[in-house]
Amino acid sequence: MTSHDAPGTALVTGASSGIGWEYATRLAGRGWKVVLVARRAERLESLARELREAGATGVETLVADLADPADLARVTERASGDDVDLLVNNVGINGYGPFAEVDGDLLDRVLTVNVVALTALTRAAVPGMLARGRGAVINVASLLAFAGDLPPGPLPRRAVYAGTKGYAVTFTRTLAAELSGTPLRLQVVCPGLTATEFHLGAGATPVSGERRTHDEGGVPPEDVVTASLAALDTDEVVCVPGLTDPEAVTRLATAELDLRRGSGGRAAARYRGAGAKAREAS
């Protein structure tokens, strides 16, 4: 299955703006049926109307807040449907701010939306895809997953958000390896700053009003989706839309292998004091 095929239905979360809106538009234009999931009913209806006017068929809207257990259960049930051949876990909220000062309830929401919902929806969709012998999951992460100890300015204060996106990267790569040899395709797409409304709020409540773009600008969401769907066609598990050197991903895997060589039976000599080092040297 390639992203140009139209075997069934694509479920897209966070479809009310930005990257999710673009995924839905692009996939519907290629003949996919789409299930649009987001908190903002007016935005979803606007997108559904736009898609139908462009000739799309089989457009569903599912208004849901994935931080709410009941709503997540409804969307999880839909994701397990036997018509869902593509799951796009795009929804995400940022909860930016100094860790010691950000409201704890907001951080709980970030973890639930960015980690728990992504995992639950993937778990709901994958068994049926395996049984049918076709399917794909795209998880939208962020280059902030690799930001590590880079200081804020211009990067945001992001400890929990970056951690959740690191989870998305590791989860997707590991699951892709587990499912190697099956017809399923797994991808994590890691855009940098993107020209959406993402930075207009922390995520506790939806951004109100018409769709717009935050002042920081960034790469167009159209480019993110173009790269993602092209990468899906070539089985590229980690897609960084603006990366010109794909070997950077290979070098990352090599560095990880070097770290895993530290799983020996004893602590390294450098942790066991000068005396231990001297004994090992003799």
- The per-residue pLDDT for range 147-197, each reduced to its tens digit, is 999 999 889 999 999 999 999 999 999 999 999 999 999 999 999 999 887
Residues in contact with 39: Cβ distance below 8 Å, sequence separation at least 6, in sequence order: 16, 63, 64, 65, 206
- Say whether both 171 and 103 belong to one domain: yes
- Say whether both 277 and 234 belong to one domain: no
Can you give the pTM of this predicted structure?
0.92
pLDDT per residue as tens digits for the range 18-59: 999 999 999 999 999 999 999 999 999 999 999 999 999 899
Q: Can you give the pLDDT at residue 252?
A: 95
Strands, sheet with 136-140, edge to edge from the N-terminal-most edge strand: 59-63, 33-38, 9-13, 84-89, 136-140, 185-189, 238-239
Q: Can you give the pLDDT at residue 104?
A: 97
271 has catalytic annotation: no
Flag whether 258 is in a domain.
yes
One-letter amino acid of 47: L
Catalytic residue among 96, 161, 167, 271: 161
Q: What is the mean pLDDT of residues 245-262?
A: 95
Structure tokens given for 83: 């018509």
Flag whether 1 is in a domain.
no
Per the CB < 8 A criterion, the answer to whether 161 and 95 are in contact is yes
Residues in the chain: 282
Flag whether 215 is in a domain.
yes
Distance between alpha carbon 273 and the CA centroid of its chain, in Å?
A: 43
Domain that holds residue 82: 9-244
- Say whether both 139 and 269 belong to one domain: no
Write the CATH number for 227.
Answer: 3.40.50.720
Is the per-residue pLDDT at 7 higher than 90? no
- Say whether both 171 and 251 belong to one domain: no
pLDDT per residue as tens digits for the range 97-146: 999 999 999 999 999 999 999 999 999 999 999 999 999 999 999 999 99
Flag whether 226 is in a domain.
yes
